[in-house]
Structure 1
Amino acid sequence: MALKESQVPFALAGSYGLWARGGPEPAHDVDFMIAEDDATAVYELLAGRGLEVVQPPEDWLFKTYVDGAMVDVIHRAGARSIDRGLFGEADLLEVESVQMPVLSATVLMAHKLGAMDERACDFGAVLPAARAVREQVDWEEVSRRTAQNPFARSFLGLLHDLAIA
């Protein structure tokens, strides 16, 4: 609620964003994306509201806790800064009885695949989400956005072979 009240552009992202669009229910933390330009203000806003806010070693996010649940507030995706233009690709959806912006399935899948690397490339974890939201995704756009990532290209090839994409 603090993000909604702040008027700072944000959107539900990650596995919960995919879940809000019909993907499998995740069992871990919630991800929200904000613009990198807003990161300091949002950090201070959440801390000012009495929420525990933690800066982990990773410099692309910070974490907060709401009713015991960990929430990642992400302001960079990979090496790319998140800018406010990303939130134009979000839709206002009802998530657990709360209206909030949720990134498009295309953006969510592009981020999910773009994050794959040698240490994190579990196709089995991503495949059910891709199958569930496949009709909402512009797979050509995902391919364009992830063209430099060999793991993403391999996963997209698998989706093509399985007639998902």
Structure 2
Amino acid sequence: MNDTQEDMRDALKRVAVVLKRSEIPFALTGGYAVWARGGPEPDHDVDFLVASQDVEHAAAALADEGLHVERPPEDWLFKVYSGTAMVDVIHRHSGAPAERGTVQDADLLEVLSVEMPVLSATELLVQKMLAMDEHYCDFGRLIPVARALREQVDWDRVRRETVESHFAAALVFLLERLDVVPPSS
């Protein structure tokens, strides 16, 4: 493990503990949620999801604990810094405000010795697939995720919830052809 990964892991734990203590509904999402479920470890940042109505409470709780909170121009997240490690706290995904139901539907898992809610593998895949567009369509990053999580995913739900996305349909087609996922039932 390199210093960057160690810093990100420490930031992940620190932010999760603050959110838990503050009783703010949240869930680990993104690359570290995939990693917590058996996928490859990310090398960029840590992502948490909070409901849109909990954004201000979450930002205040994290700032009160001495973490640096930054509001970038993007209106779907805020950033938290623990030392040099960056944590994205996301409150909108797939173009819609994050709902408490999505956050509260997460599974409690032990991640780095801290019990925390982690988005389901199905929800993770749906969100990652709906994030694809003509500017970001990297199947090479998503195929290993799908392969690592395939037994944990409700593929029929993924197909239903991503049916409007041509990029998602292309990825599912490719995953079927590669025998990563079963054909549609």
Identity of aligned residues (%): 55
Aligned pairs for 1:122-141 (under 5 A) are: 122-141=138-157
Mapped pair 1:43 → 2:46: no
Q: Quick check: 2:162–2:169 contact (8 Å CA) kept in 1?
A: yes
Unaligned runs of 5+ in 1: none
Q: What's 1:104 paired with? A: 120
Distance in 2 (CA, whole Å) between partners of 1:88 and 1:74 is: 15
Q: What's 2:24 paired with? A: 8
Unaligned runs of 5+ in 2: 1-16
Mapped pair 1:95 → 2:111: yes
* Residue 85 of structure 1, CA deviation: 0.4
Q: What's 1:52 paired with? A: 68
Equivalent in 152, 157, 163 of residue 173 of structure 2: 157
Mapped pair 1:17 → 2:33: yes
Query: TM-score normalized by structure 1?
Result: 0.97
Query: TM-score normalized by structure 2?
Result: 0.86
Distance in 2 (CA, whole Å) between partners of 1:123 and 1:101 is: 27
* Residue 67 of structure 1, CA deviation: 3.6
Task: List 4+ stretches of structure 1 deviating above 6 A.
Answer: none
Equivalenced residue count is 165
* CA-atom RMSD in angstroms: 0.9
AA in 2 matched with 1:55: R
Q: What's 1:86 paired with? A: 102
Q: Deviations over 1:21-80 (max 9, x none)?
A: 001111110000000000011111111222100111110000001242100000000211
Q: Deviations over 1:71-119 (max 9, x none)?
A: 0000000211111101232111111111111000000000010100111
Q: Deviations over 1:126-159 (max 9, x none)?
A: 1111101100000111111111111111101111
